[in-house]
Structure 1
Amino acid sequence: MPALFKTSDKRRASPSQRLRVGFVLVGLTFAAVLLAVTGSSFLGARGLSEAVTRGQAAVIRSGLSDVQHGWVRNPSQADLEALVADLEQLDLGVRYVGLSYPDDPGPEVGEPTHMPTDHEMRALVREGVVEYGEIVQVVVPLAPGAHGDRPPPDGAQRDRPRRAGPPGPPPPDGHLIVEFEPVMRAELQARSRRELSVGIAGALVMAIASLVFWRMSLDAESSQHKLQSQRQLATLGEMSAVLAHELRNPLASLKGHAQLLQERLDRDHADEHTRAKAGRVVAEARRLEDLTHGLLAFVRVGEIIREQASPTAIVESAAVDLERERVKIHAEAAPPSWALDGQRMQQVLANLIDNALQASEDQPVTVEISRRGGALEFIVRDRGPGIPPDQRERIFEPFHTTRTQGTGLGLAVSRRIVELHDGELTVGDNPGGGAAFTVRVPRGEETTKT
């Protein structure tokens, strides 16, 4: 199955995904069927037009044979004009009628598109009908009754040049040449071309509509997931705020008493095992305290104040309390200023740089600042093990962490801050190995202070 219809993971497709794929497949199938039927109709119309042309030529030949029985002498110019008048009443598209004799041409009405040579005349007599592009010529031998004494040609006829052609026996004495435009064939072909154009246009519209529906359904599903995630985050935030508020004071008391106990054990030179237990209580109390601070930070992220700030200065401030000597900042392409909530963006970058330092162990971490496509970009690259593709969205979920001492809220808070800037926080592979976190913030207006 094409990649267009694959699900994002190996789990079973949801009903909405199956419905979406089914609708697109039905639309594309109908488009293909419409195109096939229209193409078949067009080819059939071409074959039918040839039969219509042959039928039109047969009608003309039959009419000429009937008319000749009324001629008691060689047809004159007046006879041909009367013949043309009769044919025009039948609306057969006749453009030229003329007589051809072995020694000189006879009278004619109209201008021929192509005057056949003696060699072509023999082919015309043999075939009866010959096409020259959009023009058809019909040759009918003169009836025996129309072969009386032929008057000598006039001066204009004597001055007309003889037809050139390869040597050979002359054609039979006396032939009527009729040139006509196959009107019915032209109408049939024009109609078939219009139907083909309409069929192709309809197939394209149906295919495009199916793909547009596919895209719109993906966007709608993404918006629905985002809305559901926001609702879950709002519920989680309310619950977290209550828990953090209720735990903060007892936790501070627990940590304070545990620290006092640890200090007293150190003064009394208690045994190592007892002091280790007291130290573990203090460490766990601090971890719970970090968790409550993270919960409160997650809940309180709801509004940002954008002001003009230096992106380079924000990165410098974010890295100052970390292992600064391992952080390499590339700000050659950085804009001088950008509308940002400097304090919140510093919190985002400090979290990303700290995670990168922990993942890279002793390797350096690079931070690139640039302006690309009308947006400000921060790219934090580490030299760690990287993030598996199936985990790249889950790491931004609250309480999801791969570290034993982590709270799992840092990346969730960071993404929320970036989204409040109308931006996005994503993760990918670092070409040199490791992970690359990209913060992209579009240009925005400064927050108006009231």
Structure 2
Amino acid sequence: MKLHFIAIGGSAMHALAIALKNKGMQITGSDDAIFEPSKSSLQENGLLPENEGWFPDKISANLDAVILGMHAKKDNPELQKAQELGLKVYSYPEFIFEQSKSKTRVVIGGSHGKTTITSMILHVMNYHEKPVDYLVGAKLEGLENSIKLTEESDFIVLEGDEYLSSPIDLQPKFHHYKPNIALLSGIAWDHINVFSSFEVYKKQFEIFVNQIVNGGILVYNEEDTLVKQIAEASENPIRKHPYSTLDYYVEDGETMLVTSEGDMPLEIFGKHNISNLSGAKWICQHMGIDEEDFYEAISSFTGASKRLQKISSENPVVFKDFAHSPSKVKASVAAVKEQYPNQKLVACLELHTFSSLNETFISEYKNALDKADIGVVYYSPKAVAQKQLTPLSTEKIKEAFGQNNLEVLTSNEDFVTYLKNLSINDAVYLFMSSGDYGGLVLEDFVTEL
């Protein structure tokens, strides 16, 4: 097949382009801005466009299809040319489904935990040398690319993102996958720029559950009230398997999982991660891995990239985390405090996404940083202006979080200076963001601390 990618630089788009090239397809692509690590990956695989920009001349009738990324606009000149020529235009989840129709599709959905659960499943399969195709939203140790597509694998494990598919395909991505086996981890309102109310957001997960193929399997977190409600209300003729957090305890800074084979030390920690592990265990069992083999493999799982990732074990201990939604922030703060109960926790959160900077949504962060000894919120007024949102005030943020002693900073320089001047012995730092605190290289800053 000859395929052209419009917006090839996206995190999933560039990974799909590489996966399809590895499968023997002829790939071209365009983008008006390509950043690392996508840029280097495309270059290494001979797929980096010679020039940035949109070039309608790249679109010709001899293409089998065009794959359109979310970064492009509806009036993209390459898209318009493809439509004029009557070419088939796919969003990337649509094309993933086309490539996996003959496979058992395992789809991991939920507002939080899906990257970690998908990563756990892939770690276990890789450990036991059971090849599967996959799509995951993080770089994993031992896996060259975040997407793998082959003709040979019977299973494909897909991280089921609920965000929109493309500028002309306004369905959530996970509505395309039609799972044989699905997992639903939790539901907490997110992406308010797309889903205007919680009810609209919740509806997407109801649709997801009802799209599981007849006779399929739903593994669901019964500790999440909304997930339990949706799972039990669904009349889809499927098998339903609830899961809950497995027994564990923390001893001398080490998390121990209670199993029938004895207490087992884990590399990961936090109640939300033990819950994720429980869900992953159920899925792996449905994929042919028994409990004993699962535990053997999962004991060496160190976590998905940027998910409670330890970047310093010295004094101070430092973690970075992709957490940005209220539920994820609260879970990450609680997890680190539980693991280090006798040390001062400095929890830093960057408000970076459209939702987090929205004055209506920000109240969802109520009590999210309560378990931290020191809470710090950083945001850029420039980012608020770029997103055309109402300016936020320090007082509004403190009120939303329910903490009068919250430190709110709006410049990179003030943020760095404040942390350097804390001078706390035996501290643990947690940096949470989907951004970079105005250009802060955390690893370098940790050295300075």
User: What's the TM-score once normalised by structure 2's chain length?
Assistant: 0.15
Structure label with greater radius of gyration: 1
Higher strand share: 2
Instruction: Give the TM-score normalised by structure 1.
Output: 0.15
Structure number with the higher helix fraction is: 1
